[in-house]
Amino acid sequence: MPLVKTWQLIAGSAVAGLALSAAVVASAGPWDSGQRKAERDRAASWSRTGGTDHGSGSGPGGLPQAAPSAPGVLQGVGPARPRQAASPSGLPAALRPLLADPALGTVRTASVVDTATGQVLYESGAGDAMTPASTVKIATAAAALAALGPEHRIRTTVAPGAAAGQIVLVGGGDPSLTAKKKTPVGGSLAALAYDTAVALKAAGTGTVTLGYDDSLYTGPARHPIGDNPNIALVTSLAADEGRPDDSTSGPVERVEDPAKEAARAFAALLTDKGIKVTGAPVKAKPVAGAQPLAVTLSTPLSGLVERMLTNSDNDIAEALARQTALASGQPASFEGAEKAVAARLASLGVDVSGTRFADGSGLNRADKVSAGLLTGILAKAAGPDHPELRPVLTGLPVAGFTGTLRARNSGSSPAAGLLRAKTGTLTGVNSLSGTVVDRSGRLLAFAFLTANTPGQEGAEKALDKLAAAVAATP
């Protein structure tokens, strides 16, 4: 993935937000237990290199052409415009009274950093550990990308089983795996069944028994919050996130055993391809060292990260945390993922003291991160030394246009189209962290974390005012 200059990143970020019309995404999903859930999958990017606008582009340097409303933005961030020196004096005066809003609860922390220079423009309790809710997905994304790279794809395979005439469906933890027959973007059980049938018929085999292996992950499969429609069992084999309907996002009761249901769906697909499957699928192990009969690959990690951030997808988040654990030699469990995520972030040079990554999604209130950690990660993602982290930025919802920010800081707000941020919401916890292009064309990273907020609506409005002030203050 080529290095991207700061101005290109800023312009690409602005254009990507402004080029997407409100009709592209469905309205924000419902709230469940204080957590806003995903919007439609098509709001997310599946490009290997990142970026919500995935056209090849016809603008200068291959950038997509600006939307009609964008010229004023691009004039401020184009390569020919001299960069203005940082002037942090205006931000404290603008942010202090906004941060004092009672709607933000009894504890409020903040961090604003110039991503190009690393200069801290404003901070208040920036090192204090707070419950981040879904903004912890920024950390999960960065750790996964650092561990595996943006081009990594997760494998789901079919291999010979130990019993005579048995084949085994082996889960690799692909959260994009689907049993739907339409051509998917990620892993496809339909394509895997076709390739498996071809291999079996070539070997003269027309009848099999089917086993399935979901042993890659260890520890409890159920999230500590318990049975909850916001997340399925965390297993290495699941199709369509264990959803029993045609939904692709939002809370819905999941199937009781995602791995078994995926195996049943695969058996039906094999039957459609002319292979007779006798008996019901059972748990089994493939022959050690045997070559797979067929393989299907997930969407690239960059696309998974972007979908996770845009849609606040908890299932993808937990899958990426476990993939990070596997890549780091840790058990693929909540505990192993916690150690691996912290270690990967530390290897990037981010201060992880006082943090806890009890899960990858932010549903666990035991998660603890600081505003400074979040802006540190975002600054790393914007810098030239870590282009592999770029999807952390390109996957963030765009104010007034996509994801959980579609209806926030929209219209005439100075942050509309210029703000990319991850929301975080649990009962009494509200947070917002992302990047914004300020009036002088600087790309700033910010994080606002709060606790004991009296209500969701008031807290959101107060956070949006803070973000808009970062965009508007000279």
Which residues have a catalytic role annotated? 134, 137, 312
What does each C-alpha distance from 183 to 31, 178, 189 come to in angstroms? 31, 10, 10
Contacts of 317 (CB under 8 A, 6+ apart): 137, 140, 308, 359, 360, 361, 362
Q: Is 108 helix (H, G, I), strand (E, B) or coil?
A: strand
CB atoms within 10 A of CB 205: 15
- Give dist(CA 58, CA 350) in Å, integer: 36
Q: φ, ψ for residue 241 (rounded to 5)?
A: 55, 25
Q: Residue-wise over 290-300: b if at least 16 C-beta within 10 A, else e?
A: eebbbbbbbbb
Residue type, 461: K
Beta-carbon contacts of residue 391 (< 8 Å; ≥ 6 apart): 45, 50, 141, 145, 150, 301, 302, 303, 305, 306
Q: CB-based contacts of 51: which residues, under 8 Å, 6+ apart?
A: 12, 16, 45, 394
Q: Which residues contact 160 (CB under 8 A, 6 or more apart)?
A: 166, 167, 168, 286, 287, 290, 293
Bridge partner residues of 105 (DSSP)? 451
Task: Report which of 108, 292, 337 is spatially closest to residue 192, judged by C-alpha positions.
Answer: 292
3-state secondary structure 13-31: HHHHHHHCCHHHCCCCCCE
State the chain's maximal CA–CA distance in angstroms: 77
